[in-house]
Structure 1
Amino acid sequence: MAVSFFDQFASPSYMGIPLIAIAIALPWVLYPKPTSRWINNRLITIQGWLMNRFTNQLLMPLSTGGHKWALLLTSLMVLLITINMLGLLPYTFTPTTQLSLNMGLAVPLWLATVLIGMRNQPTIALGHLLPQGTPAPLVPVLIIIETISLFIRPLALGVRLTANLTAGHLLIQLIATAAFVLLPIMPTVAILTATVLFLLTLLEVAVAMIQAYVFVLLLSLYLQENV
């Protein structure tokens, strides 16, 4: 039976239980829990330092009203990075290659930023649909264009994360298959292919972290417009 390269992105299930739920819940088990001691160990100290640095960097351009989202955005960042990194291990499943999961994260959070803007500052939120100084004949066209761009934002968030991770995993599988096939035929070419595979894996590690940061950063920018 011919197996498609895209079968690795199908959501697996065992005894009728979707394993995507376990893959999402597992990362939280891997992180050490804060202790009641006065002095923490090195791992918890580094973890806390990284959280503080990321939170400060993310919330610096936001007003005071947006600081209420600190826990949510930081937790989302940690979740996405952990899932993306664990998905690079052999025989694992990456939930963020599923568009349904990414859209399930992007749409509610984007909608929350829009509703906050409509509730707290409706005039400014609606003013984003029409740039200042627009000629009168272009007003209806610009309103339609800005409205479409507003509703495309969650789609862009979900598709960007899905496409980058799917493309990276697919390239890794293709190059690994090529190296395995070429090994008994042309060992030298197989070694060069394996070197390319190693470099691509390092690139995919960077992509896994960068895409998680971009997802949360864009959400913070959408929030900045509405607080």
Structure 2
Amino acid sequence: MTLSLFDQFMSPVYLGIPLMALALTLPWILFPAPSSRWISNRLTTVQNWGISQYTRQLLQPLNPGGHKWALLFTSLMVFIMTLNMLGLLPYTFTPTTQLSLNMGIAVVLWLATVIIGLRNQPTVALGHLLPEGTPTPLIPVLIIIETISLFIRPVALGVRLTANLTAGHLLIQLIATASFTLLPLMPAVSILTMVLLLLLTLLEVAVAMIQAYVFVLLLSLYLQENV
């Protein structure tokens, strides 16, 4: 019996209990807990250094009003990156391949940035819907286009993350299936396919990290327009 290639993207269920909550909780267990000591171990030191460098780079172009989102953005990036990378391990599940989860995160955070803009500077927030110097006959059309592009942003965030991870996982599974099928028939070709699979796995690890960074970076750009 041949299973569907998309079975790996189904939400896992054990004894009728969905394991999505366990998959979302696991990343936080793997990270070392902060210590009150002045001198910590090497893992915690490297982790703190990486997070501080990322936060500094992310918040540098933002106004001081957007620095309140530092903890949220940093935690979100680490969380999504860990979920993406854990999904590459055998017998695991990648929650970020589910469009519902990505859209749930993207819509809520995007809506928060829009509400902040409308509350703090409503004139500037509404001014983004009409570029300066627009001819009078084009004003209604441009307002409609800019409004649609505004509401497309959370959809683009969620679909981008889902599509990139789904495509990479599918390609890895296809190449792995081909290498195991070719092993008894053409061993040399199978070895070359395994080397390609190793390189693709390394690329997918990089994609998992980059997509988490891009997701949070785009959210910070949306926030920058509203603070």
Normalised by the size of structure 1, how large is the TM-score?
Answer: 0.99
What is the match of residue 17 of structure 2? 17
Alpha-carbon deviation of 1:144?
Answer: 0.3
What is the match of residue 34 of structure 1? 34
Q: Distance in 1 between matches of 2:17 and 2:225?
A: 40
What is the match of residue 140 of structure 1? 140
What is the match of residue 62 of structure 1? 62
Percent identity, please: 78
Q: Distance in 1 between matches of 2:35 and 2:134?
A: 58
What is the match of residue 51 of structure 2? 51
Q: Distance in 2 between matches of 1:6 and 1:170?
A: 8
What is the match of residue 165 of structure 2? 165
What is the match of residue 103 of structure 1? 103
1:127 equivalent to 2:127? Answer: yes
What is the match of residue 220 of structure 2? 220
Q: Distance in 1 between matches of 2:138 and 2:157?
A: 28
Q: Distance in 2 between matches of 1:36 and 1:145?
A: 52
1:20-55 deviation digits (Å, cap 9, x = unpaired): 110110110011111222211111111111110010
Q: Distance in 2 between matches of 1:124 and 1:34?
A: 40
1:117-148 deviation digits (Å, cap 9, x = unpaired): 00000000000000000001100000000000
Q: Distance in 2 between matches of 1:12 and 1:75?
A: 25
Structure 2 residue runs without a partner (length 5+): none
Alpha-carbon deviation of 1:220?
Answer: 0.1
Q: Distance in 2 between matches of 1:56 and 1:182?
A: 49
Amino acid corresponding to residue 66 of structure 1 in structure 2: G
Alpha-carbon deviation of 1:16?
Answer: 2.2
1:82-139 deviation digits (Å, cap 9, x = unpaired): 0001001111000000000000100000000000000000000000000000001100
Q: Distance in 2 between matches of 1:104 and 1:18?
A: 18
- 4+ residue runs of structure 1 moved beyond 6 angstroms? none
Amino acid corresponding to residue 167 of structure 1 in structure 2: A
1:204 equivalent to 2:208? Answer: no
Amino acid corresponding to residue 87 of structure 1 in structure 2: G
Amino acid corresponding to residue 130 of structure 2 in structure 1: L
Q: Distance in 1 between matches of 2:11 and 2:28?
A: 20
Alpha-carbon deviation of 1:185?
Answer: 0.1
Alpha-carbon deviation of 1:2?
Answer: 3.3
- Aligned pair count reads 227
Alpha-carbon deviation of 1:3?
Answer: 1.2
Amino acid corresponding to residue 36 of structure 1 in structure 2: S
Amino acid corresponding to residue 127 of structure 1 in structure 2: G
What is the match of residue 7 of structure 1? 7
Give the superposed CA RMSD: 0.6
Q: Distance in 2 between matches of 1:129 and 1:102?
A: 26
